[in-house]
Chains A and B, each alone.
Chain A
Amino acid sequence: MSAVLKQPTKRFARLNQVTSALEGAGRRVTNRGTAPVWGAEVDVPMLYATHWRSLVRLAVLLVDDVATAEDVVQDAFVALHRRSHTLRDPAAAVAYVRASVVNLSRSVVRHRQVVRKHLRVAEPDHVDGADFHVLLSAEHREALDALRQLPQRQQEVLVLRFWSGLSEAEIADALGISPGSVKSSASRGMTKLAKLLGGER
């Protein structure tokens, strides 16, 4: 017994040193091992202010309707806010909220499809739900209509690829699928799009 004594909990704290000197408070807890590690805080209002517009645009490309897109983004930020205390890497917050936007948009689209399927009175086949479409040139509208004919997954991949400008790895993260699926979805989507758009020319 040469040396000097520390409480057992020291070791955990050493492991936890990734955290900065800025986080939660504490005292009188003897078991450091179970104490949570707080990541540097995520500044949700700041993220909201800086990323709101681009995220609403992303959502609108997926759900086709501005009001719904805004709701989706609001919900995504509420989810982020709820978890901001447990999110370890603030740099990942944008990716997190973007993934939420894609997921929530998908739920909205699916919900809409289910509602349509169960409506007693048949609606017209395609309703131009997106008010902003009115302002678009025929050429752009044609491209978007073609995109809408793809399966949901392929639409998501193409929007993230060509509008958000994400890499394959980032898309894989956002959608929770493998990079291979991203590649094949993108490839199939592009082939179909080329056929749809090219056929009319």
Chain B
Amino acid sequence: MRRRDVAGRLRESLDAAARSAVDDSRRPPPFDPFRVTPGHEPPHRRRRAWLAPVLAAAAVVVVAGAGVSAVHFLGPDDHGKPAAATSPTITGSAPTSPSASSHVATSKPAGPTKPVHVSLFQGDGQTWGVGMAIQAQFSKKVTDARPFNKAVMVKVNGQPAKGAWFWVNSNNGYAMEAQYRLQHYWPAHTRVEMNMPLKGVSAGPGLAFDDSLTLSFNIGAAHISQVNGANERMVVTSDGKQVKVLPVSLGKAATPTYLGTKVVMEKKNPQHMVSAPGEPNPYSLQVPWSVRVTLDGEFVHSASWNGGNIGSRSTSHGCTNLNVNDAKWFYGFSQLGDVVTYTNTQTSKIMPSWDGWGWWNVPWSLWVQGNLLKNS
């Protein structure tokens, strides 16, 4: 027999075997990310090995109760099963057997649940800018967002808000975080109230929240500043009215300023700034009047040394340089959560959503879906 014939025959036989074992109408059982075949668990899960017999026993009861031949389905049929016992008709119904037993074994309504503790970044009575998002932090990874979404209610001036939660990994040491924002900025001069009656609510299979929270904070004036690299100007507006136009100097081509919408995260006077490791001209300076807009270190700050370029050229390491008096004014004017937008900088890169408070850089159509968890 020639090789080509062998290959063809093998291909046909494999295909026939695969199709006869799992025919095209076969549908997968619902995906349960926590069901592991006994013996295949990662080491830290093996401690719960005693659960398997208990669940198997429960499965026997349920399956037997359903009037199905439980013994046939649940017997260890890996090896040693007489071929004659499996007639073609039984084979036809066999597809349901493994999934039936596994499915029953995986639904764990009675099993012990692990607590997920929720905490909030904001505090009651604070005032934030219109670009702020509500930030919730979780002690354990939530695996199902829907009960959370159903339970949590956010109101703006007493009216239910139509925002959405966006589920992200934490880089503050929490297991997970979620951020809530509306499609557009918060309406200015409003009161935001949130009720989180989460205690006992499911956070996914085997998980339940262990605390309930409320939050009430204020949204201040709408401070939106537009920085344009084309003319090195920053137009500062408050509640839609232009307040000032400030000359700036943005990041040079080698260290450009991100595009996109940034949110004021922190104000410091002075801010200690250190050059990146490996920077050709290292520096370490205390910089007065610094307003932080990205996590990795973009600020809007005073730059007394750069006066000649402010308003005409992009020469910075990525920050937005202002003249000292302007920086002092902007520092006093800014509230945390204010919005600063950047256009025409020396790059095409938009500030990543995780680099600080970059949530406005995620399109609303994606935001509502929920990212790590599906919102619906």
A interface with B by C-beta (< 8 Å): 1-14, 17, 19-29, 32, 35-36, 38, 41, 44-45, 48-49, 52-53, 56-58, 60-61, 65-72, 74-75, 77-78, 81-82, 85, 104, 107, 112, 115-116, 123, 127-137, 139-141, 143-144, 147, 158-159, 162-163, 190-191, 193-194, 197-198, 201
- Find out whether the CB atom of B9 lies under 8 angstroms from the CB atom of A32: no
Contact with B9, one of A8, A141, A197 (Cβ below 8 angstroms): A197
- Find out whether the CB atom of B354 lies under 8 angstroms from the CB atom of A25: yes
- Find out whether the CB atom of B78 lies under 8 angstroms from the CB atom of A162: no
| Beyond A29-B172, A60-B18, A194-B6, 14 additional pairs, beta carbon < 8 A | A5-B316, A6-B299, A6-B318, A7-B296, A24-B168, A25-B168, A45-B31, A57-B21, A65-B77, A66-B98, A70-B99, A115-B79, A162-B7, A163-B15
- Find out whether the CB atom of A10 lies under 8 angstroms from the CB atom of B17: no
In the complex, residue of chain A having the shortest beta-carbon distance to the beta carbon of B2: A194
Distance in Å: Cβ of B312 to nearest Cβ of chain A: 14
- Find out whether the CB atom of A53 lies under 8 angstroms from the CB atom of B319: no
Are A132 and B91 CB-contacts (below 8 A) given A81-B33, A162-B14?
Answer: yes
- Find out whether the CB atom of A19 lies under 8 angstroms from the CB atom of B21: no
In the complex, residue of chain A having the shortest beta-carbon distance to the beta carbon of B298: A6
Q: B169 on the interface (CB 8 Å rule)? A: yes
Distance in Å: Cβ of A151 to nearest Cβ of chain B: 16
B6 cross-chain contacts in A, Cβ below 8 A: 190, 193-194, 197-198
- Find out whether the CB atom of A3 lies under 8 angstroms from the CB atom of B94: no
A133 cross-chain contacts in B, Cβ below 8 A: 17, 83
Q: B358 on the interface (CB 8 Å rule)? A: yes
CA distance A38 to B252 in the complex (A): 27
In the complex, residue of chain B having the shortest beta-carbon distance to the beta carbon of A56: B22
- Find out whether the CB atom of A68 lies under 8 angstroms from the CB atom of B80: no
Are A19 and B352 CB-contacts (below 8 A) given A3-B315, A6-B276, A197-B6?
Answer: yes
Q: B65 on the interface (CB 8 Å rule)? A: no
CA distance A26 to B223 in the complex (A): 22
**Residue contacts A-B, CB under 8 angstroms, 25 given:** A1-B283, A2-B306, A3-B281, A3-B317, A5-B319, A6-B299, A6-B317, A8-B275, A10-B317, A13-B296, A13-B352, A19-B354, A23-B352, A28-B295, A44-B31, A65-B77, A66-B94, A70-B98, A74-B37, A85-B169, A123-B79, A140-B13, A140-B17, A162-B7, A198-B6
In the complex, residue of chain B having the shortest beta-carbon distance to the beta carbon of A86: B169
A65 cross-chain contacts in B, Cβ below 8 A: 77-78
Are A136 and B16 CB-contacts (below 8 A) given A1-B305, A26-B172?
Answer: yes
A132 cross-chain contacts in B, Cβ below 8 A: 17, 20-21, 91
B interface size (C-beta, 8 A): 108
Are A194 and B91 CB-contacts (below 8 A) given A6-B297, A57-B18?
Answer: no
B349 cross-chain contacts in A, Cβ below 8 A: 17
B21 cross-chain contacts in A, Cβ below 8 A: 56-57, 60, 66, 69, 130, 132
Interface-centre pick from A2, A24, A143 (highest chain B CB count, 10 A)? A24
CA distance A26 to B35 in the complex (A): 31
Are A135 and B83 CB-contacts (below 8 A) given A23-B354, A61-B18?
Answer: no
In the complex, residue of chain B having the shortest beta-carbon distance to the beta carbon of A72: B37
- Find out whether the CB atom of B98 lies under 8 angstroms from the CB atom of A67: yes
B interface with A by C-beta (< 8 Å): 1-3, 6-7, 9-22, 24, 26, 28-29, 31-37, 40, 42, 77-83, 86-88, 90-91, 94-95, 97-99, 102, 135, 166, 168-172, 177, 179, 249, 252, 255, 260, 265-266, 273-279, 281, 283, 285, 287, 294-299, 301, 303, 305-306, 315-319, 321, 349-359, 361-362, 366, 371-372
B358 cross-chain contacts in A, Cβ below 8 A: 21
CA distance A44 to B277 in the complex (A): 38
CA distance A112 to B135 in the complex (A): 51
Are A5 and B362 CB-contacts (below 8 A) given A41-B371, A190-B7?
Answer: no
CA distance A11 to B26 in the complex (A): 51
Are A112 and B78 CB-contacts (below 8 A) given A11-B279, A28-B172?
Answer: yes
CA distance A58 to B317 in the complex (A): 54
Are A4 and B356 CB-contacts (below 8 A) given A57-B21, A123-B80, A159-B14?
Answer: no
B86 cross-chain contacts in A, Cβ below 8 A: 131, 134
- Find out whether the CB atom of A129 lies under 8 angstroms from the CB atom of B94: no
- Find out whether the CB atom of A134 lies under 8 angstroms from the CB atom of B83: yes
Distance in Å: Cβ of B60 to nearest Cβ of chain A: 16
In the complex, residue of chain B having the shortest beta-carbon distance to the beta carbon of A135: B20
In the complex, residue of chain A having the shortest beta-carbon distance to the beta carbon of B92: A135
Distance in Å: Cβ of B67 to nearest Cβ of chain A: 21
Interface-centre pick from A131, A139, A143, A191 (highest chain B CB count, 10 A)? A131
Distance in Å: Cβ of A22 to nearest Cβ of chain B: 6
- Find out whether the CB atom of A60 lies under 8 angstroms from the CB atom of B78: no
- Find out whether the CB atom of B91 lies under 8 angstroms from the CB atom of A131: yes
Contact with B10, one of A69, A123, A193 (Cβ below 8 angstroms): A193
Distance in Å: Cβ of B37 to nearest Cβ of chain A: 4
Interface-centre pick from A2, A3, A13 (highest chain B CB count, 10 A)? A3
A20 cross-chain contacts in B, Cβ below 8 A: 352
- Find out whether the CB atom of A53 lies under 8 angstroms from the CB atom of B13: no
Instruction: Give the 3 A-B CB pairs with smallest separation, nearest first.
Output: A7-B297, A198-B1, A4-B316
Distance in Å: Cβ of A96 to nearest Cβ of chain B: 15
